[in-house]
Chains A and B, each alone.
Chain A
């Protein structure tokens, strides 16, 4: 009888359902999108890269087939009769489904109102987020990818490839092993050698018995010595356990620090919708920075007529009223940079969002502060205006944009319009958009 071999499929064909899952998400992309948007508005900028649970009403997912409805005559056989006899009458449950106790079908449809809940993985979540932002594909991959890896030396290991063999280390190890393994044998041999020499050098005597005794001992010692030298010889010069290889570990490339300043106008004219739009703008810059820098600090500056440094929560959720003096924030920004973030250690990025409203005498001053104090220090300055109106702030900034390559500005009325403000930035980093 031939033995049929069992096939081990465990390593093959994993994730066969990915294609089907994709099609499912695609079909329900509107619901998924909505859920993702809700999640983004509720999350902190730093937690953006996480999955999310999505709920879809079950009735939207049903696949219709022809079936019988209620009514007519149904005969159903059930098990477990306890007290009924033929002809017994049982009252129908009121209001509920008449067929509730019927076949499996009925109990399934009983829970039909529940939502179908499933979780979106981190990657899928980001994919939807990026789609909203209309990022070019190259940028999407650049952001979705784990940062580049660089291999670093990390001491020695006992396994590796021959090209990483460290000869000196290996030989040193071999020497130590040979010494350690041979030590006791060698000292024993040494003692015997000494005894042998002593015997050979012993004074001549006529005592036959003594001569014989000595000869026997010499013979015994010689035999023993031969054995010991054999053992010493038997210790291998180089053994596989001596081999040492240079070990390398991979570490993410970004090794520098960056600080991102989020500057936002929180005056009365900035409503929730504008703030949410601004939040997406900040998130995108943050994501970009996480790919390039090890350590990123976030500084939130909000302003109306006065500026103040706040926590993220206060930044997005507190409402203020009153007029707007943009320069107040810029001055504070400059102070913070000079006090805490020397450019020799930090890469500085500024993202500013506003609805363009400003006290008209202030706009020219804004331009001056940015041009003279801030732009020389920062790597990139991105400004979005989340409203259509063009006021004097916009005009003043236009002058800056012409003058400085690392100053970018856009009018953004929809999430998909945010990306272009970073186009130069991404281009600079080698991502061809």
Chain B
């Protein structure tokens, strides 16, 4: 086997040589990816990409400028290093390699991003269902140009206000349970005008102010709207807000579509980062075993790997919650172990696949089947609920703490012991459920015949109230809606615990 040279400086030829070997190795593990497009960029370009939520192109907004300024400042002062890589869920899959990286780091990034993340984007059901990798870049170009045109026509201020309001609701602009249509630029464009005309007509219909015929039965006038509560606030506003102009609806739609695109990423942090980390670790180690890598290269990327999967314990200065890289990496690694060398405990917990690769030819990678299944069909919440093993809980020394407002103390509700594993796993799984992380807010009703006010309802989970900034967000809702907005915070029994009413500035 030929050894790849291991200087610290990279060159184009060398990256291609490494890429060839990484690709061949990944193919042996049957990693299914989109075609790869590697791009060398400078640190400044990395900061640009950082600031616009990792995308190579995006519409303009001051908040991205803020992000850029903060990133640049921290980077220049040496407070933080830049991420080594950014990878875009697109087809072809674009991975950025930063100019400053050493050869070892470029190899790590290629294995991590171009094969790890890439195969995750292509395989995971959430990404397959909710995003269309083939058209995202085109759609963002369209979004940028559209927003630009609106700025020219209606003024930067008007567009900025609208985007501010949409961004405030971005997390509540996704369909959580319903499968949305895939994003397709051609269709979007073809239908835009049609849609605008149709939408306006629908809205006019809804808000018809002509007197009702006297012989109509009374109950129709009190029909409930919307008939069912709606979870996607931005969608509801796009379709039903009475005063928005067609271009404003289109911008609401753009923000909504972008939010939808990022929704799977927010739900698969542990899985996605863990998967990519597991694969750079596996691929580069295999290459070393095959005699391709020099010791110096190994030591360098391993050091970086060790930093990435470091989990500071609670109370440590660097502690800020569970490290998704560490947890995900540990879980996939443990799954592989359970397939290959299970203990009695594993057989009890995972009867379906414990020992499935036992005795098989190591070259056949029989454990791949389980890992592939686990990668494809879950999100963080269900992945942890299904696959977090007692061994990983012990290794991380996980423990759950209950913070009850009514109690003067915290209570340790479960630890990594026989009686705690299940409850610990459930608690952690819930912790990664976006539905419980973010307040559950739905469109409850619209007063069609009265003041046209919109009522939102927050259903409390574990009695947790809304945060202080709620009124600020409601101002944005009111701006979009154009009429008063109410928010009721309701506990599971149905009692209203908190209430807000905001009248849009335009009506004051």
Contact = CB atoms under 8 A, between A and B. Distances in A.
Partners in one complex: yes
Interface of A: 1, 3-10, 13-17, 19-27, 61-82, 84-92, 98-99, 101-104, 107, 116-119
Contacts of B438: 66-68
21 contacts: A1-B20, A4-B19, A9-B39, A14-B45, A20-B60, A21-B68, A25-B65, A26-B156, A63-B63, A67-B467, A68-B439, A68-B467, A69-B467, A72-B405, A75-B462, A81-B314, A82-B313, A86-B415, A90-B409, A103-B320, A104-B320
A84 B412 contact: yes
A90 B401 CA distance: 9
B182 interface: no
A72 B466 contact: no
Contact of A74 (B20, B63, B402): B402
B444 to A, nearest CB: 15
Contacts of B472: 64
B427 interface: yes
Interface string B51-78: 1100001001111111111100100000
Contacts of A118: 69-70, 73
Interface in B385-441: 396-405, 408-417, 419-420, 424, 427-428, 430-431, 438-439, 441
A16 B45 contact: yes
B306 interface: no
Contacts of B40: 6-10
A75 B430 contact: yes
Contacts, number: 257
B320 A84 contact: no
Interface residues of B, number: 99
Given A72-B405, A74-B402, A23 B60 contact: yes
Given A64-B476, A65-B473, A84-B415, A24 B398 contact: no
Given A26-B62, A80-B397, A13 B403 contact: no
Nearest to A56: B66
Shortest 3 CB-CB distances between A and B: which pairs?
Answer: A80-B313, A24-B65, A72-B464
Given A16-B45, A72-B404, A99-B403, 15 more contacts: A7-B37, A7-B40, A23-B160, A66-B473, A68-B467, A69-B467, A73-B402, A75-B462, A76-B403, A78-B398, A78-B399, A80-B311, A86-B419, A107-B320, A118-B69
Given A64-B472, A76-B400, A23 B156 contact: yes
B65 to A, nearest CB: 3
A33 B476 CA distance: 27
B41 A9 contact: yes
B400 A75 contact: yes
Contacts of B405: 70-73
Main SS class of interface, B = mixed
> Do most interface residues of chain A lie in helix, strand or loop, or is the interface mixed?
loop
Nearest to A77: B428
B73 A117 contact: yes
B336 to A, nearest CB: 21
Contacts of A99: 403
A104 B312 CA distance: 13
Given A66-B473, A68-B439, A20 B311 contact: no
Interface in B342-401: 396-401
Nearest to A1: B20
Contacts of A3: 16, 20
Contacts of B217: none
A15 B44 contact: yes
Given A4-B38, A72-B460, A98-B403, A86 B466 contact: no
Contact of B465 (A27, A72, A89): A72
Interface string B454-472: 0000101111111111101
Contact of A79 (B44, B167, B314): B314
